[in-house]
Amino acid sequence: MAKIIAFSKPFFFQPLCRKNKNPLFKRDDFFLSFGDSLSFLIDYYGIQDKKEIALVPDFYCPDTLVFISRHFQIVFYKTNSDFTIDKGSYFKEIKEKKPKLIINYSFLGFSLIEDEKKRLIDLIGNDSIIIEDYAHRIIDFTDRKPFNNNHFVIDSVRKHSPFLGSHLIGGGVIKNNKAQKINFYKIKCHLFQISKGLLMTVAHFLNWPWLFKQSEKLFFMQNEIIGNSPRSTLGIFLSFYLYNLLDLKKLKEHRRKIALAYSDGFKNFSSPYIRILDDNLIKNSELSHYPLFVDQSIQEELLIYLEKKNIYADRLWDVDDLFKSQINSEFYQSFIILPLTWLVKEDDASFIAKQVSNFMEERYDEKKRIL
């Protein structure tokens, strides 16, 4: 039976190191999720009644968009077809709309050159809240130069580790006494996390697809509630401590290596239905999942075909009808994602590329037989 290749991250299969404590990580600013960190900031700054504007990319997590829309009027800046940010659109909206909240996010990793940083500082002054969204990135720097006193970095460690948590970094002196330390929401999220982790670990040890699918069900059940509590909630000490045992540098390098292995595999065949990113974009970015651009007409068939081979690909986000006319809807539906976890090796990436190639050949042969 083929090996399970999926997005799972069991603790016992992660790269570990003894000394990895980042001085930017503070126990008092460690929340349960990205949504809880964001909820805390909105509460801390007293944002209410949608009187202020939030500037966000037109390719962004729909659940987070819904959350932000409860507190802000939303304005979008544009994302290019290769995931890079349209900087002209970004600065134009900041200059014209004067947003209170600015979300810096790109699937490849958001970055500004020095001249762009100076331009941003001149435009925002000290009033705007800037959030560097690291939900799909690993924080591996130990110092930073904030643009103002309201410049924050927020990550989501569950996206690349077996733990729940979110580091809130930046700003001046912030007292998080409004955040809850314990509630039923927190207990429920961790029960899901522990159960899911146990099932995934056993599933990988035994290479048991059925058990893995049960763990996936728990993941989606947890995903429905996490980040949606009416009050911001702190993460637990154990997750904060154990996360510091992960070798984040090694994990980050591994993800880039596997992403390039995917690209090498997909270069071996050509199809009008399949497109990949340029290698230079892969090398100079940070991916949490590998994006494979697939024509919408065959996406569902391909996902089913891969699952039969024990390969669990997916779509990143579904389009939310609430913002359909404003976001880059076609872009959301233009690709599927492939896993970039520590468990995925270069041979696995080559195997997946081969299976995609086989799918295209079989589908083409099937069409010929029908005709």
Q: What is the pLDDT along the chain (371 residues), one digit of tens a residue?
A: 789 999 999 988 899 987 778 999 999 999 999 999 999 999 999 998 888 999 999 999 999 999 999 999 999 999 998 999 999 999 999 999 999 999 999 999 999 999 999 999 999 978 899 999 999 999 989 888 899 889 999 999 999 999 999 999 997 656 666 789 999 999 999 999 999 999 999 999 999 999 999 999 999 999 999 999 989 999 999 999 999 999 999 999 999 999 999 999 999 888 899 999 999 999 989 999 999 999 999 999 999 999 999 999 999 998 878 888 888 888 999 999 999 999 999 999 999 999 999 999 987 655 545 44
Give yes or no: residues 135 and 163 share one domain.
yes
What sign results for the dihedral spanned by CA atoms 77, 81, 83, 84?
negative
Is 179 domain-assigned?
A: no
Fill in the DSSP letter of residue 13: G
β 166-170/151-155 pair status = antiparallel
Check: CB of residue 315 under 8 Å from CB of residue 306.
no
Check: CB of residue 358 under 8 Å from CB of residue 301.
no
What sign results for the dihedral spanned by CA atoms 279, 281, 287, 292?
negative
What sign results for the dihedral spanned by CA atoms 36, 41, 43, 48?
negative
Closest CA to 108 of 144, 81, 142: 81
Q: In 10 A of CB 166, how many CB atoms?
A: 26
Of 121, 143, 170, the residue that ends a domain is: 170
Fill in the DSSP letter of residue 66: H
The residues, any chain, with a CB within 8 Å of residue 27's CB and separated by 6 or more, are 237, 240
Distance of CA 234 to the CA centre of its chain: 20
Give yes or no: residues 324 and 253 share one domain.
yes
Is 65 domain-assigned?
A: yes
Residues 159 and 250: their CA atoms lie apart, in Å, by: 16
Give yes or no: residues 39 and 145 share one domain.
yes
Is 56 domain-assigned?
A: yes
Position 60, amino acid: Y
Residues facing 293 on adjacent strands: 275, 335
Is 237 domain-assigned?
A: no
Residues 350 and 294: their CA atoms lie apart, in Å, by: 18
Give yes or no: residues 27 and 166 share one domain.
yes
Quote the tokens at residue 198.
């146990």
Residues 214 and 206: their CA atoms lie apart, in Å, by: 14
Give yes or no: residues 31 and 139 share one domain.
yes
Give yes or no: residues 157 and 28 share one domain.
yes
Quote the tokens at residue 18.
């003894």
CATH label of the domain that carries residue 343: 3.90.1150.10
Give yes or no: residues 198 and 302 share one domain.
no
Residues 121 and 124: their CA atoms lie apart, in Å, by: 5
Is 234 domain-assigned?
A: no
Residues 355 and 5: their CA atoms lie apart, in Å, by: 12
Run of H or E residues at 118: helix 114-124
Of 138, 170, 202, the residue that ends a domain is: 170
pLDDT for residue 1: 72
Give yes or no: residues 282 and 337 share one domain.
yes
Domain of residue 33: give its range. Answer: 21-170
Angle subtended at Cα 314 by Cα 305 and Cα 339, rounded to the nearest 5 degrees: 100
Is 298 domain-assigned?
A: yes
β 274-275/52-57 pair status = unpaired
Is 235 domain-assigned?
A: no
Give yes or no: residues 193 and 296 share one domain.
no
Give yes or no: residues 53 and 124 share one domain.
yes
Quote the tokens at residue 142.
């130990």
Give yes or no: residues 271 and 364 share one domain.
yes
Closest CA to 156 of 140, 143, 168: 168
Give yes or no: residues 39 and 84 share one domain.
yes
Number of domains the chain is built from: 3
Run of H or E residues at 93: helix 87-97
Q: In 10 A of CB 309, how many CB atoms?
A: 16
Is 6 domain-assigned?
A: no
Residues 39 and 66: their CA atoms lie apart, in Å, by: 12
pLDDT for residue 371: 44
Check: CB of residue 346 under 8 Å from CB of residue 258.
yes
Fill in the DSSP letter of residue 152: E
* Dihedral pair phi/psi, residue 4, rounded to 5°: -70, 125
* HSE-up of residue 273 (Cα within 13 Å, Cβ side): 16
